[in-house]
Amino acid sequence: MAECVFCDIIAGNIPAAKLIETDKVLSFLDISPVNPGHALVVPKRHVASLLDLTQDELHVAIFIAKRVAGAVLEATGSAAFNILQNDGQAAGQLIDHVHFHVIPRSPDDGFSFGWRQLNYEEGTLQSLQRAIQQNL
């Protein structure tokens, strides 16, 4: 495995502003936050993709993300939050260790996803639906 900053934080080799830790995950404040209170929830086992997490690891991670989100909202007085997980470089994942961002939000914080919205051509929606269902 190549060097992983999250594995180094988990091992205690790099200091972090830890929020909560279990046997499966660690949560800490992001050192380059989108907004103050931006936290990360990181499974302790090194895996690059959400698809490689066990069901138990995923359950614990999302449960801790929910707890951290509530605590961050209380601590920051934020109006809302995002929980994001970027999977793969094309999706914006910068560190190849699966992690969840908990980002406190306010209406005027200036953070935007810049999402575009497309329309399906006739028949494409149903065709894609069938293809996905075959893979479930």
Residue indicated by tokens 């992001």: 30
Reply yes or no on whether 101 is catalytic. Answer: no
Phi, psi of 65 (to 5 degrees): -60, -40
Contacts of 6 (CB under 8 A, 6+ apart): 40, 42, 46, 95, 97, 99
4, two tokens: 């992983």
CA distances from 4 to 19, 101, 107 (A): 20, 17, 34
According to DSSP, the residues that pair with 25 across neighbouring strands are 43
Catalytic-labelled residue, pool 38, 46, 97, 99: 99
Which amino acid type is present at position 54? T
| 135: three-class secondary structure by DSSP | helix
The residues that are catalytic are: 99
